[in-house]
Amino acid sequence: MYIFSLFVILLLTGPARAWIPGQDKEIYAADGSNLFNNTALATNASSKRWLPSSAKIRGVNLGSMFVFEPWLAQTAWTNMGCGGLNSEFDCVSHLGQAQANSVFQAHWSSWITQSDITQMQSYGLNTIRIPVGYWMKEDLVYSDSEHFPQGGLSYLEQVCGWASDAGFYIIIDLHGAPGAQVANNSDTGQFAPSPGFYVDYQYSRAETFLSWLTNLTHTTNAFRNVGMIEIVNEPVQNADTVATMRSSYYPNAYAAIRSAESALGITASNALHVQVMNELWGSGDPKQYLTNQNFMAYDDHRYLKWSNITTSMSAYLSDSCTNNRASDGDTPTIVGEWSLSVPDDVQWTSAWDPSTQQSFYSQWFAAQVLTYEKNTNGWIFWTWKSQLGDYRWSYQDAVAAGVIPQNLSGVNASACSGY
């Protein structure tokens, strides 16, 4: 704690010059060219480094890679011996550590390969967001009571290396927080009956994780294009329940990242963006206690499937064409999760059938892309790949179905005309 507060004081009173925007950390494509033209940013004090200036973020999530969500990949889950189990925690506890390590490592080596990265690049994507759990730092796991697969770090390094080589911007997201940030959801890595994250000792474990990850990001070549770390994905949508997350965890996690950078002598031009969920998410104002907001970024998740928008195609298009996802004033914002899925009760009816309604889904995709690129710094689709046989949850399948163009420059620029 002492070192954190010392650092906060330094930031407030200390070498302000280090925080005046200077030259951007550059992001290189495979051919050595600068992927994002940040020359304009370099002289523009109102811009943030480490974000594309001439390009928007156009990305996909690596869902079910390091935080397995069984609903997305039932076949793989069953083949791993985890059938019927809710989460990674439950599966590891069932299989035992050694067998679990073996099946998870087989999963990490096959779910996303270098050819996936190559394919994403050929589609004009420039960003990946990688959900991870705190258990990737294995000494944080309580060996007597917590059960998670081991050996993930080298696969994270491998996929980041491929993505860096291909010139991608990379966001690493703490998707599975210590104790679980929401109840009964496999996307935290455990199916916890209550959210156990919101206490000091769990915050402290998460801060240790972030400090470790920050150090790795700045010292490992494969991580050279990691430009953003999200400090917790989708906390409980109740401002009171998560009050200490905003007042304690957010500033301390921010300080942990900056402190790790300071220890390495990282200058402002190489500082990571620190991302939190935006105010629209519903966990309160993320900035409320953040006295230092240098290189912050905000994450918006937009699933009309779970919204209160009238379930009609015209209402969906109208909302997607007009709803400004940066309207809460949090900036820069990236729409870090969204899909083409519609409410469960209608999704397989003939009116919404993906095998006959491609023209709607294609227009809706375009409408979302146009609006997110107009109002925010870009978007990241959930997710790249699934075994659902439903392109509404898979970018790769949607391209194969002709719903998403093979080259994003083919998105219909008139998709919102009339809305």
Ligand X SMILES: *[C@@H]1O[C@H](CO)[C@@H](O)[C@H](O)[C@H]1NC(C)=O
Token pair 């507060």 is found at: 5
Residue 382 beta carbon to ligand X: minimum distance, rounded to whole angstroms: 19
241 binds ligand X (CB under 6 A): no
Binding window for ligand X (CB under 6 A); candidates: 81-89, 298-306, 347-355, 409-417: 409-417
End-to-end CA distance of the chain: 52
Between helix 152-165 and helix 97-110 the angle, nearest 10°, is 10
Closer CB to ligand X, 313 or 388, in the complex: 313
Q: Which of 5, 109, 122, 314 binds ligand X (CB under 6 A)?
A: 122
Task: Let me know if 234 is a catalytic residue.
Answer: yes
Can you list the positions of beta strands (E) in 31-136? 57-61, 127-133
Of 148, 150, 147, 145, nearest to 101 (Cα)?
Answer: 150
Residue 337 beta carbon to ligand X: minimum distance, rounded to whole angstroms: 16
Residue 260 beta carbon to ligand X: minimum distance, rounded to whole angstroms: 7
Closer CB to ligand X, 215 or 318, in the complex: 215
The catalytic residue among 69, 88, 207, 234 is: 234
Q: Check the CA dihedral 183-185-189-191 and report its sign.
A: positive
Q: Which amino acid is at 396?
A: Q
Encoded tokens for 211: 């400090």
Per-position b or e across 257-289, b if 16+ CB within 10 A of its CB: bbbbbbeeebebebbbbbbbbbbbbebbebbeb
37 binds ligand X (CB under 6 A): yes
Binding window for ligand X (CB under 6 A); candidates: 6-14, 19-27, 33-41, 127-135: 33-41
Task: Let me know if 337 is a catalytic residue.
Answer: yes
414 binds ligand X (CB under 6 A): yes
Binding window for ligand X (CB under 6 A); candidates: 44-52, 167-175, 227-235, 393-401: 44-52
327 binds ligand X (CB under 6 A): no
Closer CB to ligand X, 97 or 358, in the complex: 358
Of 112, 122, 130, nearest to 60 (Cα)?
Answer: 130
Residue 308 beta carbon to ligand X: minimum distance, rounded to whole angstroms: 4
The catalytic residue among 207, 230, 337, 373 is: 337
Closer CB to ligand X, 37 or 269, in the complex: 37
Site size with ligand X, rule: CB under 6 A: 24
Q: Which of 19, 25, 39, 267 binds ligand X (CB under 6 A)?
A: 39
Which residues ranging from 176 to 205 are in contact with ligand X (CB under 6 A)?
183-184, 193-194
Which residues ranging from 278 to 307 are in contact with ligand X (CB under 6 A)?
none
Cβ–Cβ under 8 Å, residues 18 and 268: yes
Q: How far apart are CA 190 and CA 188, in angstroms?
A: 5
What phi and psi values does residue 176 have, to the nearest 5 degrees? -115, 100
Which residues ranging from 348 to 377 are in contact with ligand X (CB under 6 A)?
363
Binding window for ligand X (CB under 6 A); candidates: 216-224, 265-273, 377-385, 390-398: 216-224
The DSSP result for 166-187, as a single string, is TT-EEEEEEEE-TT-SSSSBGG
Residue 25 is classified by DSSP as: P
Cβ–Cβ under 8 Å, residues 21 and 268: yes
32 binds ligand X (CB under 6 A): no
47 binds ligand X (CB under 6 A): yes
Of 241, 215, 237, nearest to 226 (Cα)?
Answer: 215
Catalytic residue annotation: 234, 337
Rule CB under 6 A: which residues touch ligand X?
37, 39-40, 44, 46-47, 122, 124, 183-184, 193-194, 215-216, 219-220, 308, 363, 407, 409, 412, 414-415, 417
